[in-house]
Structure 1
Amino acid sequence: MEIIKLGLVDDHNLFREGIKSLLDKMDNIELVLEAVSGKDLLAKLNKLVPDVILLDLEMEEMNGVDATLKIKESYPNMKVIILTMHKEERMISYLMEVGANGYLLKDTNPQELEDAIRSVCDKGFYFNPFVSQALLKGLKNKSNKPPVIGKDYHLTTRELEVLELVTKEFTTAEIAEELFLSVRTIEGHRKNLMMKLEVKNTAGLIIKAVREKIISV
């Protein structure tokens, strides 16, 4: 199994030490970068780019919100898991829409932390029940305007099939097997879907597909 390279960004040393002790017990997950702020992280990313970043929100010298936007602008393939005490549904919905791949509260258990890290690498996102509820409320309250139906996005029948399987949490390999297509072909469909729906990752794809009622939950 390939090693997952991890970055940890938090301005509390004791918290970082606690997370490091948990990561040491996880197979094939290696902490390769530590930072104390978004600014510190971006400087260090010039030399080393992890697969996944565990990112706090409330930090000096660039908070986690601004850091997420900067990361996704410069490193669109990097996975970001927000790790915070903030429970606001609007914050969760916003961060997931602008590119975060997962959102965990700091009182989460070690197993869920490991599951989230592996899920964002494998599927591109991690939604636990708390986040799913927050997202659905955010989608419901997003706007009173009528939804834009899928035809305006000019999605093909095959793209709609792929999109439906993505919302069911199928991996690229699983979609390829289900539709009897190559992984490369599915990756192409994913790329086209993200371009047409104007989103940056799988989480954003699911959120917009549900919000615009292209796919029903």
Structure 2
Amino acid sequence: MDTIKLGLIDDHNLFREGIKSLLLKMSGISLVLEAVSGRDFLTKLSNIVPDVVLLDLEMEDINGVEVTQKIQELYPDLKIIILTMHKEERMISYLMELGANGYLLKDTNQQELEEAIRSTHQKGFYFNALVSEALLKGLKNKGAKPQIIGKNYQLTSRELEVLELITMEYTTTEIADKLFLSARTIEGHRKNLISKLGVKNTAGLIMKAVRDNIISI
């Protein structure tokens, strides 16, 4: 199993030290980039790009929203887990739609932190109860109406099949095995789905699938 290369951005030294002590207890996860600000992180990315980054929202120079936007623009394959004290549902939905792959509160425990890192690296997303509730309440507030499956997005039957398995949290390898296809073919379908649905990543695919009732969950 490949080691997950992790980045950490937070301007509070004590909090960073606490996270680092937890990471030491997690096998196969290595902190390769530590930054004290958004600008510091973006500068250091020129030397090493991690697989997953834990990103604080409130920083003095460049806030987490701006950093998320920059990452999406310059390093779209870098997966982002927001780690913050903000639990407003509008903020959660906004960050996830902006391109974040997961959202955790800073009072999370070691078990959930590790699960979020591994899931985000392996599947491209981590949806906990916090994110799921924000998404479902957003759906309720918008009064989403059922649509004919795939009608507005011109999805093929195979793409719908892959999308359904993605929402069921299957990995690329698991989907490939289930459909008797290669992992490369599944990744091709994933990229096509991201393009057709106009989202930024796998987390966005799931949110779109639920919000627009593209598939039945």
Deviating 4+ runs (over 4 angstroms): 144-149
Q: Aligned partners of 2:79 and 2:184: how far apart in 1?
A: 20
Secondary structure of 1:43's counterpart equals: helix
Residue 52 of structure 2 aligns with an amino acid whose one-letter code is V
The TM-score, its normalising length taken from structure 1, stands at: 0.96
The runs of 5 or more residues in structure 1 that have no matched partner are none
Percent sequence identity is 75
Q: Any conservation in 2 of the 1:140–1:211 contact (CA below 8 Å)?
A: no
1:95-145 deviation line (CA, Å, top 9, x unaligned): 11111011000110001101100000110000111221111112332x357
Contact persistence 1:147–1:211 (CA under 8 A): no
3-state DSSP class of the match of 1:103? Answer: strand
Residue 195 of structure 1 corresponds to: 195
Structure-1 residue corresponding to 2:46: 46
Counterpart in 1 of 2:72? 72
Deviation by residue 1:157-182 (Cα, 9 ceiling, x = unmatched) = 00000001101101111111111111
- SS class of match (1:54): strand
Which runs of 5 or more structure 2 residues have no equivalent in the other structure? Answer: none
TM-score (norm. length: structure 2): 0.96
Alignment match, 1:15: 15
Please state whether the residue corresponding to 2:34 is helix, strand or coil. Answer: strand
Instruction: Note if 1:186 corresponds to 2:186.
Output: yes
Deviations 1:23-71 (A, max 9, x none): 1111111111111221211111111101110000111111111111111
C-alpha distance 170-40 of structure 1, shift in aligned 2 (>3 A): same
Question: Is residue 144–residue 211 contact of structure 2 (8 Å, CA) maintained in 1?
Answer: no
Which deviates further from its counterpart, 145-154 or 121-130? 145-154
Between stretches 155-164 and 30-39, larger displacement belongs to 30-39
**In 2, Cα distance between equivalents of 1:200 and 1:38:** 21
2:31 pairs with 1:35: no
What letter is aligned with 2:118?
R
State the match for 1:117 in structure 2.
117
SS at 1:126 equivalent:
coil
Distance 1:147 1:9 in 2: 40
